[in-house]
Structure 1
Amino acid sequence: MSQLILLNKPYGVICQFSEHPKHPTLKSCIDLPGVYPAGRLDTDSEGLLLLTDDGALQHRIADPRWKLPKTYWVQVEGEPSDAQLAALEAGVDLGDFVTKPATVRRLNPPSLWPRNPPVRFRKSVPDNWLEIVISEGKNRQVRRMTAKVGLPTLRLVRVAIGPWRLEDLPPGEHRVLAVDLADLPGGRQAMTRAKVGRTPPRSSGHRQTMSSPTSRRRKP
């Protein structure tokens, strides 16, 4: 069994263990030896980040061929129209690539911890929440998607990666699970590759239940 760590990464924390001149690092949240991030989360985004001490499991989670769906709760500026939601679902041309189809729905404002610093609102413009599920994870993808359709992101919280959910984990806290790589789709192939040539997890410079809100479904 491999060790999988679920961390609720706070806003402003950069996804690395090595010191950074401007931002606190993962070391401020977790101090377990030999663990490394399996994927990334932008510094100005919050929520679920996976870490592990197993290189094969890290590869399985991050491998594009077995990309796990990622679920985000996104606070956007503006009132989303059906056309804007349909555009997000169909795929958005971001210039350097076109996003794959996504699952999008409206949400009632979820019960979340206060963000520090608070989100800056414009009193003259309404804000709304969306749930967006994507199967890829390009740099700042969700923010770029919502901006492209005219709904700038104000706050972005990742609440799930594949079968793992943030639930009621407080910001800066973590939960440790025992995971069998063979139980995951593609896990046995990952184990075979690991046996052929074992490589350590990619280092980032360190050696070492939140309830779902009621949704407002899009009108047909």
Structure 2
Amino acid sequence: MNALMAGVIVKGVMAGASSESRAASARTQTTPSPVHDVEWPPPPPQGPKPPLEALNAASWRYQRYLHEQHTAGKQVHEVLDFGKWKSAYFDPASRGGRPGRSGGPAQVTTRQRLTEEGFINTENTRLGDNFVDLYRPNTSGGIDYVEVDEMLKSGIPRADVRSKLKKELVHLGKHDTLLFVDKIDLSKRILYRFGEDPSVVDTRVCP
């Protein structure tokens, strides 16, 4: 009798172990990769933006990144997973790099007013190696990028901004545009298009 009971117990333990093994195997096979392990479409981040030193600083900003990418028409397989996003965007910012920083009061106000035109205020959207201030998808299937900064009395951006615009211009896609907006006067704008020579940045003035 004892031997029989022992055999039943062993079989039960083995069956339980086999069941757990199959369940673990199933979890391993169905667990999505980190880039897909997000809610899609992603909701906007909750609450005010925390400071960089806050415990939820990275997760809040990553959620904003996901939301912005979805708004721009990206699919879940086209976004960065948290680790790659953090190393590319959050870590440089936390060390003082501050990509895409908002600028002074005038620039912040103008950027906010541009969001009323459908542009997305961003801190982590690149055009080439540079971060732009705002963007929005356009009806041609491309992206309209925006830089907001100082316009000189001559009607062109200041020298260091022109240098940045030239670098960005060569990275425009076929249906993309690049708009420069004066940080003081929202109506003063200069538009650049795909295929234009970067030298146009030095000659095109605000109409």
Tell me the TM-score normalised to structure 2 length. 0.24
Higher strand share: 1
Tell me the TM-score normalised to structure 1 length. 0.23
Higher helix share: 2
Structure with larger Rg: 2
